[in-house]
Structure 1
């Protein structure tokens, strides 16, 4: 949560205890179920919405803030408070945190650095971590957490949304009023969601967002923080149509992605906008920021380029996803016309070249590749 909160001062005054708590509370196996009882289950799939400055991932989190609020029967003002809180705490992103290394093992929308806070509501692991990191990294759980705590506040429906957000988040300074215009815009975008059309949450069943895909899902073992961010950026578009020439640094264009459009998007997002690749496979393969990696040393998040026998330029690029339970290599990619972004087994026959990217220390050192 916001650094001004009272609990922050307490936590940082006990560093040894904090480290011990982190070890005990977040030692969950990311391959475990992440089943948790929630009152609202949320929605999956593309939003079909567009708001200037917001990515599809941010819109999905906002939509679930509205959908879960409606499913639970919350008032409009309480839902606005939840949206304003997400916007202020995380800019509507499911954030991992390098101070909580286990959080990097879950699909996320980027990295936060506020103490040991994670997720869209920036819940502190040292305070709320008894549920396990697999649950804390589940954005559906965090949205329900907000509503659970809001429901305990008397007269919540008569409070100003910013004041309610401040009361739930326990911030000394009310930082939520400045997000109300955005919260109202987001609420208007998704206000027509009908609770009856949403799947009912079942006790003990994985909440939306848990499982093999989706924000908060376990990432393949062996991924670096950057590689994990590449996968997290790309996999939220699983099911999006292949469109030749589709995709740029902001998301799909023309209704979808082609192979290099998906990879340039993922690398741009993972680097915080500091690596902008060309929309052409061979140019990406030859990019000065690309590290040549032997095939035997591939790691999740690396790009693999395919070159046909006798050809000098690659014709396809995929994101290496890791291995399944049978040891089979998997890739995440936009295959071809008529198909959608998917995870599939790695195939052989072409020459395979592996390239690894990382966030540059100095964004000015790669001319033409940085904004």
Structure 2
């Protein structure tokens, strides 16, 4: 079954179409050549018989074969043809016999020509399929590698071997482009990580310098609101830098950092962590599918951050006395975590940009909802590192529905 499927894809793919085009070209040219030869041969035979019997002859006209024995005694209806050498006398029966012989020759010629044309077509198709194997294989190698390359892994190279042709040059250019992209992404991520790390030290110092006198009561009452406002800004900057560091680190999660994790337990732990925030806003939390264990192959600490961000996003971008729905289920070899809320109504166009950095949506930004605007960006980065899929879409009534789809453990 798999072999048949591969052959089907190859036949209807680039190689099959190229081979079919080459074979069709040869077949059409061969048919044209045969048609010209048939026309020339038919005209030559007709001219020869015309000269022989003294009149134009239709080699395709139906004739009746006379009895050869009767030709010996034929004496009537004699046609005289004068040539440069002598006079030739030919009977009507003899001329009919000549026309029949010519027609029979043409029929046999046409039959064998068609047989040879079919053989030529089969050989042309086979040779075309054979000749297109090498370029088709090269293009297939380039296409397979292009499918495997992503922003997370730019280290692969095509390194196409073989003679220097257009396809090999294309592969070399793709390798060069990948090397440049890998260097650019590495430089960008390194800059974010270094800048975030360097900024944490002065921010920590500023935070301590503000908290110490405030705790000791050495700040005048009229200045305390300004100090509290400065502390809130410093905390937000600290959270922002921590989020940027997390995004930079989540882009490079090796396979050996993953382990078998109970996602249901992780969801229960994160729900407990946001319980105080949810109760403070009067939110009703409805859960399903988190009672039984559901195992996935992920990095335990990182996936907990992703689940926590999704749940906190559902709490922060919600209305008071609203609701949050949490649903965890197994669909075949996939595990789907869906979290919905009763927050602001978003259009489909607005939802597509919510995973972009610092994009909190127009309504939440105007409402002054706290947050860095990196929550779903971090989740998307973690999902990509685990070959998972994050989907954000408008709710059925209001709010958002965030779905995180992960690969379930095989055992």
Q: Which bracket does the TM-score occupy, shorter chain normalised?
A: under 0.3
Q: Which is bigger in relative contact order (C-alpha 8 A, separation at least 6)?
A: 1
Question: Which protein is bigger by CA-based radius of gyration?
Answer: 2
TM-score calculated relative to the size of structure 2: 0.21
Structure with more of its chain in helix, by fraction: 2
TM-score calculated relative to the size of structure 1: 0.23
